[in-house]
Amino acid sequence: MFNRIVKAKKESKGVVLSDGKRFNGKSRFTDSLAIKFKIHFAKAICDSKHDLKGLYKRSLAIFHQHYSTNKQPMHDWCDGRCCKYIQATTTGEEYNHNSRSIIPRVCLDLVRPVFDELCCVNNLIRGCEWRLAQRQ
């Protein structure tokens, strides 16, 4: 995950995105955020190593959690135990997506192919094949 995000970051170096800014910089996609995505992806794998459907759902939830806005919440993939938006809606409270650090969508659009490739069911099967074989 991290290496692929860094590769996408290097490929977009110097490219001006649709919002007129570059991929790197203040309030943009940083290495610490790439590490955070890597940690969440590794946790999803550990928690769902015997459940391919759960692994697929948790992996995509990582991306959609950050892609969500107040106007367009995208928490269908999220687990109710971890997602503050789902917790707030079940208690009737309002959740403000702007309260956390927002990554611009144009930056996330460059990272999306990494998630699409890694979260492809065939790649998840190939990566967890031996664990699924142990289950049978």
Q: For residue range 12-62, what is the model confidence (pLDDT) as tens digits?
A: 888 888 988 888 877 788 888 889 999 998 888 888 877 888 888 898 899
Predicted pLDDT at 129: 65
Contact criterion met (CB below 8 Å) for 46 and 35: no
Q: Where are the alpha helices (DSSP H) in 14-120?
A: 31-47, 52-67, 84-91, 105-118
pTM for this model (two decimals): 0.79
pLDDT tens per residue, range 72-125: 889 988 888 888 899 999 999 988 887 556 788 898 999 999 988 888 877 777
Phi (first) and psi of residue 95, to 5 degrees? -115, 130
Domain extent listing, the chain: 2-9+27-135
- The pair of structure tokens assigned to 66 is 């950050």
Judge contact between 1 and 114, C-beta under 8 A.
Answer: yes
